[in-house]
Amino acid sequence: MNILFAADPLESFKTYKDTTFAMMREAQRRGHRVSACEPQDIMWQRGAPVTAQLRDITLTGDATDWFEETGTRRAALKDFDAVLMRKDPPFDSEYFYATHLLEQAEREGARVFNKPRALRDHPEKLAILEFPQFIGPTLVTRSADDIRRFHAEHQDIILKPLDGMGGMGIFRVGPDGMNLGSIIETLNREGAQSVMVQKFLPEIVDGDKRVLVIGGKPVPFCLARIPQGSEVRVYLAAGGFGVARPLSSRDREIGEALGPILAARGLLLAGVDVIGDCVTEINVTSPTCFQEIFDQTGCDVAALFIDALEQALV
């Protein structure tokens, strides 16, 4: 197969932990050809298909100079067997426009994973609203009064912007309400921006678990991201420590319930975040943790993903 990865600049990859790199490595190991572009390299012009200025690459196996560029060219996305959208968040206006270009490529015959429309339809914070049976007390609002009411009811809460990533902009406010007004002003910008507020889940001390769902099925191991010291944020980018664990019965229940629904919508890969027994987010843009799980358990998540990709293309 010929596989095109639309991703961040190759030179920015941290190959010891990068999930897109793990996908590329497994694809090449199976004899598939790998190309890469950035979303800004994708173009459409009337009378022609959606194309990208891309780099054909070969992975070298070297830790530093990890790829060799074997050529550059402009090619139509429909001429690839699969196009993998692996651009990291944020899901900003340019990401949004890229999904429309990718959807046009689909109309021309390209096979894109995750499906562009599904990426737009599943904002990572708001996607949980569809599954209230699996989430804790949650509020989405622009209203400062609504947030204060929610705090009065639940006492210990987490506030976060809907477009944040990597732990950016996450705040915890305890029963004393310290700095609640200032935090509301920072996040909702005088009612101009929506905020997600959730009851604080003390089970966070055991980690925020990333449950990966591939082809509608949960991976047998999750990565529990554990906050360090006084930090409330668990994200690895914010200093959290990742520990791979077998799925609990509840984790598996969640993965098996959500997996077929997400897969049917064109989400070949999703990362469901679980604290205790509650889903907190559903990540669909560029889910990670493949290498951390493999390094600690031997479960080859990249192989499971390429298996699912090959099956989806049959």
Domains, the chain, ranges and CATH? 2-114 (3.40.50.20), 126-130+203-312 (3.30.470.20), 137-200 (3.30.1490.20)
- Give 12-41 pLDDT, tens digit per residue: 999 999 999 999 999 999 999 999 999 999
pLDDT one-digit tens code per residue, 262-279? 999 999 999 999 999 999
Share of the chain above pLDDT 90, in %: 90
| 3-class secondary structure per residue, 171-232 | EEECCCCCCHHHHHHHHHCCCCCCEEEEECCHHHHHCEEEEEEECCEECCEEEEEECCCCCC
3-state percent breakdown (helix, strand, coil) of the chain, nearest 5 = 35, 30, 35
- Give the pLDDT score at 233: 57
The single residue listed with the structure tokens 């909702």 is 188
How does strand 2-6 pair with strand 82-85? parallel
Task: Looking at the chain, list the stretches that DSSP marks H as alpha helix, in order from N- to C-terminal side.
Answer: 19-29, 93-107, 116-121, 144-154, 180-188, 249-264, 290-297, 301-312
* Nearest residue to 214 (alpha-carbon basis) of 104, 120, 84: 84
pLDDT computed for residue 165 by the predictor: 73
Q: Give the pLDDT confidence score for residue 89 in this predicted structure.
A: 87
pLDDT at 234: 58
Identify the three-state secondary structure at position 111.
coil
The string of pLDDT tens digits covering residues 56-68 is: 999 999 999 999 9
Unique residue bearing structure tokens 């009851």: 199
Say yes or no to pLDDT of 205 above 60: yes
Contacts of 15 (CB under 8 A, 6+ apart): 21, 63, 66
- List pLDDT tens digits, range 219-252: 999 999 998 766 665 555 555 689 999 999 999 9
Q: Could you give the residue numbers annotated as active site?
A: 125, 160, 210, 225, 233, 273, 281, 283
